[in-house]
Amino acid sequence: MSSDKPVRKAVFPVAGLGTRFLPATKAVPKEMLTVVDRPVIQYVVDEAREAGIEHFVFVTGRNKTVIEDHFDLQVELNDTLEKRGKTDEIRQLESLQPKPGQASFTRQQAPLGLGHAVWCARDIIGDEPFALLLPDMIMQSADSCLSSMVELHKKTGGNIVAVEECDPAETHKYGIIDRGEDVGNGFHINDMVEKPPQGTSPSNLYINGRYILQPEIFKLLENQRTGAGGEIQLTDAMLRLAKTEDFFGFHFQGRTFDCGSKEGFIAANVAFALWRPDMADNVRSEIEKLMAEVKPFERRSTERRG
């Protein structure tokens, strides 16, 4: 049965290898690559904090200790900043740091899929609903996506996924939902389909990497068979859970950037820089210059051969 307990904890699966960003991620976790001036993972944690999350659970792997260091107090750095009178920088770092006991780290020893990563957090989450935020996906909007999902959960209970529109021609690439009747600031989900064959999709609303799940998902993940890619897929367990529990959707109206891809990562840097009043004008000017001066790679290659 769905719990009516509040959503206090959030899981961040950060054990991925980040092979698409090699060699940059050979020694630096992909979650620590910076968008403007803060790591990708910081944006996701900030979204969770804005939604009222009190406990941040990171599922890590090898070469990820720098994430733990990032969310820890660095005494030497603070001492140096204090001696130099950098009070604004000290306040900024303090505002980003979880309070003692608010952050937990557990290890996923083998890359067995998102479902397995979530399962690794079971003992820390316990018997209460929790948020799940995929760290590759960072969102830009006036209001936090997860905050709106938490508001919906207060009205509906159950399980909630955030969705947004994709090109109808690309629905076969995503987990797609079948939208039902409106409920509060969301709607009931009639069905979920993982990567439907072209022409069979019930909508063009895809699951974008934000979830609120009931703890019953852990029992299903414990005996979930491997799926696509030989991994334990979270979607497979969610489909099983949907047979006994309600799922609701929140239609996110902002922008989502997939920082797991190079194009999405670059787009996120540009978009968040343009959102900054201290940078927007200069960045826009530089982009305009580049658009006017820099020719596409293929054209430059042709000119050299000519």
Per-residue pLDDT tens over the stretch 168-187: 998 988 889 999 999 888 99
Question: For the chain, what percent of residues have pLDDT higher than 70?
Answer: 94
Whether the CB-CB separation of 248 and 156 falls below 8 Å is answered with yes
Report which of 50, 239, 235, 14 is spatially closest to residue 133, judged by C-alpha positions: 14
Is residue 303 assigned to a domain? no
The encoded tokens of residue 156 equal 């509906």
Whether the CB-CB separation of 188 and 180 falls below 8 Å is answered with yes
Other beta carbons within 10 angstroms of residue 61's beta carbon come to 18
Is residue 287 assigned to a domain? no
Helix axes 40-50, 87-96, angle to 10 degrees: 70
pLDDT of the residue at 8: 96
Section 189-196 average pLDDT: 88
The encoded tokens of residue 258 equal 């997939």
Q: Is 183 helix (H, G, I), strand (E, B) or coil?
A: strand
Handedness of CA 137, 138, 141, 145 (dihedral sign): positive
Res. 299: pLDDT tops 60: no
Is residue 1 assigned to a domain? no
Choice between 257 and 2, residue whose per-residue pLDDT is larger: 257
Per-residue confidence at 300, pLDDT binned at 50, 70, 90? low
Report which of 157, 138, 158 is spatially closest to residue 146, judged by C-alpha positions: 138
Is residue 182 assigned to a domain? yes
Q: What secondary structure does DSSP assign to 68-98, as a single string?
A: HHHTS--HHHHHHHHHTT-HHHHHHHHHHSP
pLDDT of the residue at 306: 45
Is residue 58 assigned to a domain? yes
CATH code for position 184: 3.90.550.10
Query: How high does pLDDT run on average in the chain?
Result: 88
Round to the nearest angstrom and report the end-to-end CA distance of the chain: 70
Is residue 149 assigned to a domain? yes
Is residue 292 assigned to a domain? no
Choice between 305 and 28, residue whose per-residue pLDDT is larger: 28
The Cα 107–Cα 114 span in angstroms is: 13
Q: Could you read off the pLDDT of 262-281 as tens digits, one per residue?
A: 999 999 999 999 999 999 99
Is residue 273 assigned to a domain? yes
pLDDT of the residue at 302: 47
pLDDT of the residue at 1: 44
The encoded tokens of residue 259 equal 């920082």
Count of structural domains, the chain: 1
Res. 70: pLDDT tops 80: yes
Q: Which residues contact 26 (CB under 8 A, 6 or more apart)?
A: none
User: Is the model's pTM score more than 0.85?
Assistant: yes
Instruction: Print the domain residue range for 35.
Output: 9-278
